[in-house]
Amino acid sequence: MEQAQHARLKRRKKPLRSQFIHLFPVPAVAVYTLFVVYPIFAAFTYSLFDWNGLVMGKFNNFANFRRLFTQEPFNHTFWNALQHNVFYFITEMIVQNVIAFVLAYIIFRKVKGAQFFKIAYFLPRLLSIIIVGFMWKLILNPNMGVLNIFLKKVGLSSWAHAWLGDPNTALPAVVLVNCWFAIGFFMLILLAGLQAISSEVLEAAKLDGAKGLRLLVSVILPMMFQPLVIVIVMTFIQAFEAFELVFAMQGSQGEPYFSTDLLAVFFYRTAFGGGSGESGSLGIGSAVAVVMFAIIAAISAVFMTYVNRKQAE
C-alpha cells in the first residue's frame, strides 16, 4: 500500500520537475531578445520614419532608403564604404586564412614546440581589439613608430612611410592588423578540422602514393569542407561588421579622406554624428544598418544553401 502511494507521489512530482527544466532557457532567451532581436526590429522601424533629433516623426514611405542610394553625399559614401568592405573580406581570405591554414598544418604535423606555437599565435586574440588598434597606431607612427625606425636601422629608409596617413596604404595596413589579430582564432578552427580527419584515411592515402601537395589537395582539403565553410562565413561576417579597429586607428571619419571608411563606420557617423561636430541622422543611419543586415543575411543564406546542396550530393 505504501509503495503504491509512493509511486503515485513520484508520478505527480515528475511533471512538475519536467516543467521546471523547461524554464532554464528563459533567461538566455530574454537576454537574446532584448539585445539582439529587439535592436534589429528597432532599426527596421527607425529606418521608415522621419527623425527630428531623437524624436520620431511621421512614416516617410522609404524616403531614408531613397536618400541613401540617390542623394549626395550618402550614395557616394555608401558605395565607397561597400567597396572597402569587399576589399577587407578578400584580403582577409587571402592573407589571414591562408596563413592560419599553414600554421594549423604545421602544428598538425606535430613539429617540435607545436604547443608553444599554438599558444603564441592565439595570444593577440586575448587582447581587446581597441587596445590592438591603439598599439598598432603607435607602431605605424611615421615619426616615432617602431616599424619605420626598424626600416631605417636596417638601411631601408626609402621604405619608411606614413602607413596610416597615405590613402593608398591606410586600408591595407588596417586590414593586415586585423589579420594579425584574428589569425590565431581561425588557426584553431582549422586545426580542429585537421585533427578530426581519421588517421586511418591518411595512412591509406599515403599507401596509395598520395604525398605532399597531392595528399593536401586530394585528401585533406576535401575532408575539411565543414571547417573551411565555417571559416569563410565567419570571415565574411567579420569583414562586413568591422568597426572597432578602424574607429580606434582612423577615427569615425575613416581617415585619411574616407580611404578606410567601412559600412559600420558610415552607419555610426550617419546615425550619431561624426567627430567633426556634424549632427546625426538616425533615420538614414538605421537604413544603413538595415542594408548591412540584408547584405550579410542574404549572402550568408546563399552560401549556406550552396553548402547544404554540396553535402547532399
Task: Say what percent of the chain tops pLDDT 70.
Answer: 92
CA neighbor of 192 nearest in space, from 234, 223, 153, 156: 223
pLDDT for res 4: 63
Please write down the long-range contacts of 135-142, taking CB distance under 8 Å and 24 or more positions apart: 136/177, 136/180, 136/249, 137/164, 137/248, 137/249, 140/164, 140/173
In the block, residue with C-alpha cell 550619431: 272
pLDDT for res 170: 94
Determine the average pLDDT of the residues in 242-260: 90
pLDDT for res 289: 92
Integer Cα distance of 251 and 66 in angstroms: 27
Domain ranges of the chain: 62-312
pLDDT at position 276 over 60: no
pLDDT in tens, 55-113: 888 888 889 899 989 988 888 999 999 999 999 999 999 999 999 999 998 888 877 77
pLDDT in tens, 133-178: 999 999 999 888 899 999 999 988 888 889 999 999 999 999 999 9
Determine the average pLDDT of the residues in 289-303: 90
Is the separation of the CB atoms in 288 and 270 below 8 Å? Answer: yes
pLDDT for res 215: 84
Integer Cα distance of 286 and 40 in angstroms: 10
pLDDT at position 119 over 90: no
Strands (DSSP E) along the chain, which ranges? 49-52, 55-59
β 49-52/55-59 pair status: antiparallel
Is the separation of the CB atoms in 185 and 92 below 8 Å? Answer: no
Question: Residue 66 is inside which H or E element, if any?
Answer: helix 63-70
CA neighbor of 148 nearest in space, from 130, 169, 123, 179: 169
pLDDT band at 33 (very low <50, low <70, confident <90, very high): very high
Q: Give the cell for residue 48.
A: 521608415
pLDDT for res 11: 59
pLDDT at position 301 over 60: yes
pLDDT for res 178: 94
Q: Is 71 left (phi over 0), alpha (psi -120 to 50) or beta?
A: beta
pLDDT for res 136: 94
pLDDT for res 16: 65
Is the separation of the CB atoms in 85 and 242 below 8 Å? Answer: yes
pLDDT at position 274 over 60: yes
pLDDT at position 275 over 90: no
| Residues in contact with 33: Cβ distance below 8 Å, sequence separation at least 6, in sequence order | none
Count the helix, strand and coil residues of the chain and give each as a percent rounded to the nearest 5: 75, 5, 20
In the block, residue with C-alpha cell 626600416: 151
Query: What is the average pLDDT score of the chain?
Result: 86
Determine the average pLDDT of the residues in 107-135: 86
Give the CATH fold of the 62-312 domain. Answer: MetI-like fold (1.10.3720)
pLDDT at position 226 over 90: no
pLDDT for res 15: 62
pLDDT at position 3 over 70: no
CA neighbor of 192 nearest in space, from 161, 224, 168: 224
